Amino acid sequence: MSTVLILGAGSDMAVAIARKYAREKYNVQLAARKLEYLVPLQQDLQIRYGITATVHAFDALDTASHAAFYASLPVKPDQVICVFGYLGNQETAQDDWEEAQRIIATNYTGAVSILNIVANDYAARKSGTIVGISSVAGVRGRQSNYMYGSAKAGFTAYLAGLRNRLYHDGVHVLSVQPGFVATRMTEHLALPPLLTATPEQVANAVFSAAAAKKNVIYVKWFWRYIMLLIRNIPEGMFKKMKM
């Protein structure tokens, strides 16, 4: 039975992904800072799906601990899915470096730190799949969330480079652009229903795309064309828009 490691397993998307992989008979390793929140999910996955689920303490911001965390896993996973992220507050981050730093560190530095370790292991083993949950916010900086968007832009570029590097070792890297997703992180936002995916839709898209070895996916297909349009707005016009 294959094993999947889910980094940031406490989020709504991560829970849906864990349930999808367990339903497909993967053993599941749940990693996050607060283990007490993971234990009920761990028990439910084992009882409901008859798989082995384990919980592991992981802090994306504590990069010094990442090598020891990965070395401590009882079984090296066949797939790693990096789900954690932090939307933060754009206006606060403009004046408060700690908030800006947390956004950057969670969405970019922390992800790169742990995935570098996983990538080196997979390259040596000549197998494995890495999935990174990025964001359409990284396609073009907008005034409403450019701190978060710039970190996700870096993460998207990192995943593309990692895919290019690891292809030659037989390792697959999948970049996921979910678009709007109805989660606790976005519950304060007025998201348009037509453009908004559920965590379960993200989970199904991730599983199918990883199995098909796709490179980049948009969970709702029209996001690809929305972002293509936004990307091609002339800068002289774009800077005057309220976005």
Over residues 39-75, the pLDDT tens digits come to 999 999 999 999 999 999 999 999 999 999 999 999 9
pLDDT tens for 8-27 read 999 999 999 999 999 999 99
Angstrom distances, CA of residue 137 to CA of 151, 165, 227: 9, 25, 9
Contact call for residues 63 and 87 (beta carbons, < 8 A): no
pLDDT tens for 85-96 read 999 999 999 999
Query: For residue 177, what are the contacts with CB-CB under 8 A and spacing of at least 6?
Result: 134, 135, 136, 156, 216, 217, 218, 219, 223, 224, 227
Domains identified in the chain and CATH numbers: 3-239 (3.40.50.720)
Q: How many CB atoms lie within 10 A of CB 243?
A: 13
Contact call for residues 58 and 7 (beta carbons, < 8 A): yes
Give me the count of residues in the chain.
243
Rounded to two decimals, the pTM is 0.93
Question: What positions carry a catalytic annotation?
Answer: 148
Q: How far is CA 72 from the centre of its chain?
A: 22
